[in-house]
Structure 1
Amino acid sequence: MDYIIKLAFVLLIFIYAWFFQAQNQEWDIDRELLKHAINMAVHDAAQEMNESERASGRLVFDPAAAEASFRETLKANLGLDDSLAPRTGSRLRSKVEVVDFVVIDESSGVTFPFLYEDSRYGITKFLQGPSVIAVIKTRHPVLIARAKTQEDIQVPAIQEYKFNK
């Protein structure tokens, strides 16, 4: 009987470790998916220029068009609906939230290179030119109920233009 109790205990620990590893692997897959999607989205957002300013030699974004392009690319690459909730067939299980979207360009009153710092999201970067900065987050996948809840998966991205001088 002693042997069976020990075997059951070892089996329980093994199963818990297996699920813990599977949960961490889910986190890695979701984070990588989010990172690729946000990189493409900020790239597309950075293409939305104010053409009249560009004709005069200044790189100035159209903020409304940039954010709309960002959301459309995010939705297309992650399989999300208009409220950024996952559609049927999406790899994600939870709604994606855009927690920050910042456009810094030549109309912002800054000179480049510019040190951009945002301690809320742990971003510190010297921007060499006009940039689009975004942060998204979604809930951590949960396979094992634990006393400590996991922090959300938070992913930042920056797309910048670098001036050739």
Structure 2
Amino acid sequence: MYKLLFVIVMMTVWLAAHALQTDQELAVQTLFRGKHAVNRAAHAAAQQLDAAELAEGRLIIDESAASAQAARYLQANLQLDGAGNPLPGSFLKERVEVLAFEVVNGDRAFPYTYRSDLYDYDVTLHKPGVVLIVRLAYPRAFQVMEPIEWEIKGTAELTGY
């Protein structure tokens, strides 16, 4: 009888350890997918030049176009609706929140260092660019781990000049 009890206890421990490992692997995959999505969104936003300013020879990123493009890329890559909520079938379960979106235009002296004490982030830009910080929560597959949230940071500069 004690052997049967021992086997049941060991199976429970083994299943809990397996669930924890699976949750950890899925969390890392979620973080990587989120980081790639933020990087793509920042890069797409940084390429949104103001055509009128460009005609005058100035490299100025159109802030409204950049914001809209970043939102489109986040929606497409993370399977979100317009409000940042996950669509049915998305790997996420909670709303994705854009914490910071800043366009650093050519009217600043470069190299320019962007600092955010609130999100513990600093980056030096050598060209006009975009800084994007997003909060993403991991939807745990099992209830073995504590909830995980990340503040994913991405920066992109203009390319091609």
Per the normalisation by structure 2, the TM-score is 0.88
After TM superposition, give the deviation of residue 163 of structure 1 in Å. 8.9
CA contact (8 A) 1:96 1:136 kept: yes
SS of structure 2 residue aligned to 1:15 = helix
Cα distance in 2 for partners of 1:32, 1:137 equals 13
Superposed, which structure 2 residues align to 1:7-156 within 5 Å?
7-107=7-107, 110-145=108-143, 149-156=146-153
1:158 corresponds to 2:155 = yes
SS of structure 1 residue aligned to 2:20 = helix
- Cα offsets for 1:20-77 (capped at 9, x unmatched): 1111111111111111211111111112111222222221111111101110121122
Per the normalisation by structure 1, the TM-score is 0.86
Cα distance in 1 for partners of 2:3, 2:19 equals 24
Q: Give the unaligned 5+ runs of structure 1.
A: none
CA contact (8 A) 2:100 2:133 kept: yes
1:137 partner amino acid: R
User: Aligned pair count?
Assistant: 161
- Cα offsets for 1:83-129 (capped at 9, x unmatched): 1111122222222111111111123xx31112222233232222111
SS of structure 2 residue aligned to 1:102 = strand
SS of structure 1 residue aligned to 2:148 = coil
Give RMSD over aligned pairs.
2.0
Q: Give the unaligned 5+ runs of structure 2.
A: none
- Cα offsets for 1:109-150 (capped at 9, x unmatched): x3111222223323222211111010112222223435x843
- Percent sequence identity over matched residues? 28
1:33 partner amino acid: R
SS of structure 1 residue aligned to 2:41 = helix
